Structures are given as C-alpha cells and as structure tokens.
Amino acid sequence: MRPKYSLIIPVYNEEETLPEMYLRVRAVMDQLDGDVELILVNDGSRDRSLAFLRDLHEKDPRVCYLSFARNFGHQIAVTAGLNFVRGDAIIILDADLQDPPELIPALVEQWKQGYQVVYAQRTQRHKESWIKRLPAYIFYRLMRRLADVDIPLDTGDFCLMDRRVVDVLNSMPERNRYIRGLRSWVGLQQTSIHFERDPRFAGEVKYTFRKSLSLAANGLVTFSRVPLRLSTYVGLLAAVVAVVMAILVLYWRLFVPNSPLTGFATIMIAVFFLGAVQLVSIGILGEYVGRIYEEVKGRPLYVLSEVAGFAEELTNKRL
Ligand code: UDP
Ligand code: MG
C-alpha cells in the first residue's frame, strides 16, 4: 500500500522564505513514495504570506492551508495542523528552511523501519548568535534534569510522527502545549537522526526573545513540579538558619559581655533576603496557577478565519 504523508509548516510573516521553501519542499514531495499533502498554517501573518498560500493552493492541489484569525503562536499553529492531517506519517518542519526538507526521506526511512517517532537532533547550529544558543543550551540541559519525561537534548519540533502518535496528541486537551515534550510523553518507539541546523533562509527570527522565554517557561512548568518544591526547600533551609541564629543570639545576649549585636545591617539583609525568597516563590506559584486558570477556562485553542483544501464538512466543523 502507498503510504500517505502529511507535511505541516507553520507560517508567520514568512513572505521572503515561502517561494524558496515551496520549491525545496516540492522537490522532496515529488520524490516520496506516496501521496503527500502539504498543510501550511498561517499564524496571523501581517505580510503577504496568506496571499501566497492562496496562490499556491490554486496552483498545486496538494497544498492546503489553515489561516488563524490572529497570531496564536507557533505551538498552536502546529497543533492546528495536527488536528487536520490525513496522512499515515506526519512531518513537522519550520518555514524558514532551518529544518532542511531534504532530510525528510531519511525520517521516512526510519519510520519504515518501525519507529513511530523520528525526531531530528541538532548537532550544530550554524550562524545563530550565542544570545540564542547559550540560553537554549542551558535550557535543554535544565529540562533534562527537571522534566518528568525524557525530552532528548537539542531537538526542536522537526520530526516525523506516526498517525498513532498524532491521534494521541490530538486527544490531549491542554492549552499550554509544549509539543516536543508531549511527543516524548507518548512514548512508543522513538529514534533520532542527526543534522546540522542551517541558518534561517531569509527574513527575521519570528521567535522573539519573549516568545522563546515563554516557550521555555511553558515547557518547564508543564513538565516539571520541581520549581514548586523549591520554595519548600528554601523554606526548610531558612528554618534551620533561624534556629541556629536564635541559639547564637541568645548565647551572645546572655553570656557574652558587650555583645556585638548592633543589628541594623543584619536585620536589613535578612528582611530583604526573605522578602525576595517569598516573592519569587509566589511568582513561581503564579506560573502554575495562571496555567490552571487558562486550562479551566477551556477556550478553543485557536480561531480559524480561512481554510482551503479540506473537505467541506471538515471545514465547517472547525471554523
Ligand atoms: N512561527 C509561527 N508563529 C509565531 C512565531 C513563529 O508560526 O508566532 C513559525 C515561523 O514562521 C517558523 C517557525 O515558527 O516557521 C519557527 O520560527 P523561527 O524561525 O522564527 O524560530 P527559530 O528557528 O528561531 O526557533
Ligand atoms: Mg527558524
């Protein structure tokens, strides 16, 4: 039987990269041994990306697209794509050609060997500034220690997933979606291939520092409860210090003549330190509570404004 492949590409203000991206992806699509659908998800672009997608859909019936009513973020764009896929093997890649489409046959190869998830692991990041690389390096290693699931180092969303994995992902109701974490959570047979990450083909990085930070916080908070325990640990430590201090102070007061307890500086430091610890703890707590709040509200993950290439009933259901 000929397998069916689905490619998902999130697009946010990528007018400069789209033409080249399509050429390179099409070359790979033509080379695969089955039918391919290319699902482009327009994440509320403000440039001419959507016009380009419309055009592509006209010219190439294998191209379908979803368009969001506003910018909902990369992880949500990928999630929407996953909701609509019809293939047996689903491949996620970035629009900026940092994830080389030419690697797709290698991913497919592993899938045919029986793996349900084949993720691409970066061995090098070409020409990305250390401002991006260093925090990423630290974050992936921190996650590795703290997260409940084993999330492989230096992997992004570039991967191939079997239909079964995507069905599980689609059944997950959560709004705070850290896809590379959820993907690991599913389990089954997973393997990796290695690649060198190219620089962005054109245009500016769409993941601003703020967006990257929020993705990192999301990953950490949704996959680890260690930060919550931190305040307990610091609290216990502070209690021990308090007992030791109390004994010391009493001893000085009672048995040391002319005791050195002048105090102002010590008290100020203690007050500020403990105040800081408490505020940070409340902040950490807030990260969790805020996410609970979002989950409880149960709003839809995204709002679509336009859909093309999907059967009528599917379109109506989701729009
Ligand atoms: N992207 C998106 N919504 C956003 C930000 C980014 O759909 O709010 C898409 C973007 O078009 C690209 C991918 O996510 O296809 C990765 O973005 P980028 O290359 O800026 O991030 P980086 O490669 O630095 O992680
Ligand atoms: Mg990129």
Ligand in nearest proximity to the CA of 67:
1
Beta-ladder partners of 68? 304
Q: What is the pLDDT along the chain (319 residues), one digit of tens a residue?
A: 889 999 999 999 999 999 999 999 999 999 999 899 999 999 999 999 999 999 999 999 999 999 999 999 999 999 999 999 999 999 999 999 889 999 999 999 999 999 999 999 988 766 667 777 788 888 888 888 888 888 888 888 999 999 999 999 999 989 899 999 999 999 899 999 998 888 878 888 888 888 888 888 889 899 998 998 888 898 889 889 888 988 888 888 788 877 766 677 778 888 888 888 889 889 999 999 999 999 999 899 999 999 988 876 666 665 5
H/E run at residue 159:
strand 155-162
Ligand 2 centroid to Cα of residue 102, in Å, is 16
Q: What is the C-alpha to C-alpha distance for residues 31 and 192, in angstroms, rounded to an integer?
A: 22
Supply 315's token pair.
């379109």
Please spell the DSSP secondary structure of 268-303, one letter per residue. Answer: HHHHHHHHHHHHHHHHHHHHHHHHHHHHHHT--S--
Cα–Cα nearest to 36, from 55, 15, 22: 22
Domain positions in the chain are 5-224+300-318, 226-297
Q: Ligand 1 in contact with 37 (CB < 6 A)?
A: no
Q: What is the C-alpha to C-alpha distance for residues 72 and 88, in angstroms, rounded to an integer?
A: 27
Q: What is the C-alpha to C-alpha distance for residues 137 and 135, in angstroms, rounded to an integer?
A: 5
Q: What is the C-alpha to C-alpha distance for residues 155 and 65, in angstroms, rounded to an integer?
A: 26
Ligand 1 centroid to Cα of residue 56, in Å, is 20
Q: Ligand 1 in contact with 10 (CB < 6 A)?
A: yes
Asked if residue 303 lies in contact with residue 66, where contact means CB atoms within 8 angstroms, the answer is no
Domain 5-224+300-318 bears CATH identifier 3.40.50.300: no
